[in-house]
Structure 1
Amino acid sequence: MRLHERPISLVFRAMSVAERLSRIRKYLGLSQKDMGRRVAVSGTTWQNYELDNAAPNAHVLGRLSDEGFDINWVLTGAGEMRKDGALETKSVAGFAELAPREIGREQLAGGNYVLIPRYALRALPREGGGAATTMEDVSLNETLAFRRDWIERELGARPADLIVVEMTGDAMLPTLVPGDLLLVDTSAPRMRGGGLYAFNLGGALAVRRLQARLDGGLTVSSDNAALYPPEDIEQAALERVKIVGRVVWRAGRL
Structure 2
Amino acid sequence: MPLSNRYLYKMSVSARLVQIRRFLGLSQKEMGKRVGVSGTTWQNYELENAAPNAHVLAHLSGEGFDMNWVLTGMGEMRAEGAGRKAEAGFAELAPLDLRRDQVGGAGAHMLVPRFTLRTLDTETGKRMTIEDRSLLDAISFRRDFIRNELKADPAQLIAVEAPDDSMEPTFAEGDLLLADTAEPKLRGGGIYVLASGGTLLVKRLQTKIDGGVIVSSDNAGRYPAEEIRKEDAEKLKIVGRVIWRGGRM
Bin the TM-score by the shorter chain.
Answer: 0.5 to 0.7
- Among 221, 237, 243, the alignment partner of 1:242 is 237
Shift of 1:234: 1.6
Per the TM alignment, residue 146 of structure 1 is displaced from its structure 2 partner at its CA by 0.4
In structure 1, give the amino acid aligned to 2:200: L
Closer, same or farther in 2 for the Cα pair 1:123/1:233, shift >3 Å?
Answer: farther
1:189 aligns with 2:184: yes
- The letter for the 2-side match of 1:111 is G
- 1:28 to 2:30 alignment: no
TM-score (norm 2): 0.59
The amino acid that maps onto 1:248 is: I
Question: In structure 2, how many angstroms separate the alpha carbons of the residues matched to 1:28 and 1:95?
Answer: 24
Q: Which amino acid aligns with 2:236?
A: V
Residue 103 (structure 1) aligned with residue 82 (structure 2): yes
Task: Show CA shifts across 1:132-156 (max 9, x none).
Answer: 3323379735100000111111011
Task: Judge conservation of contact 1:195–1:211 (CA < 8 Å) in 2.
Answer: yes
Distance in 1 (CA, whole Å) between partners of 2:149 and 2:137 is 24
Match of 2:174 in 1: 179
Secondary structure at the aligned position of 1:152 is classed as helix
What residue number does 2:71 align with? 92
Q: Which runs of 5+ in 2 are unaligned?
A: 1-29, 42-58, 84-103
1:210 positional shift: 0.5
User: Aligned to 1:150, what secondary structure does the other structure show?
Assistant: helix
Residue of structure 1 in register with 2:164 after alignment: 169
Counterpart CA distance in 2 for 1:221 and 1:236 is 19
Aligned-residue Cα RMSD (Å) equals 3.7
Counterpart in the other structure of 2:87: none
Counterpart check, 1:112 vs 2:135: no
Specify the alignment match of 1:149 in structure 2: 144
Alpha carbons 1:210, 1:220 under 8 Å: kept? yes
Q: Distance in 2 between matches of 1:27 and 1:147?
A: 27
C-alpha contact 1:210 1:219 (8 A) present in aligned 2: yes
Cα distance, 1:218 vs structure 2: 1.1
Q: How many residue pairs get matched? A: 178
Please list the CA deviations of residues 18-42 of structure 1 after superposition, one character each: whole Å capped at 9, or x if unmatched.
xxxxxx976834643679xxxxxxx
Q: Which residue of 204, 226, 235 corresponds with 1:231?
A: 226
Which of 209, 234, 238 is the aligned partner of 2:204?
209
Q: Secondary structure at the match of 1:173?
A: coil
C-alpha spacing 1:160/1:222, structure 2 compared with 1 (3 Å): same
Shift of 1:249: 0.8
| Residue 73 of structure 1: aligned partner | none
Which residue of structure 1 aligns with residue 195 of structure 2? Answer: 200
Q: Is the 8 A contact 1:198 1:208 kept in 2?
A: yes
TM-score under structure 1 length normalisation: 0.58
2:142 maps to a residue whose letter is: R
Which protein shows a greater Rg?
Answer: 1
- Cα deviation, residue 166, structure 1: 1.3
Check if 1:160 corresponds to 2:155: yes
CA separation in 2, counterparts of 1:243 and 1:115?
22
Percent identity of equivalent pairs: 45
Q: Contact 1:120/1:135 (CA < 8 Å) preserved in 2? A: yes
The alpha carbon displacement at 1:167 in A equals: 1.3
Structure with the larger RCO, 1 or 2 (CA within 8 Å, 6+ apart)? 1
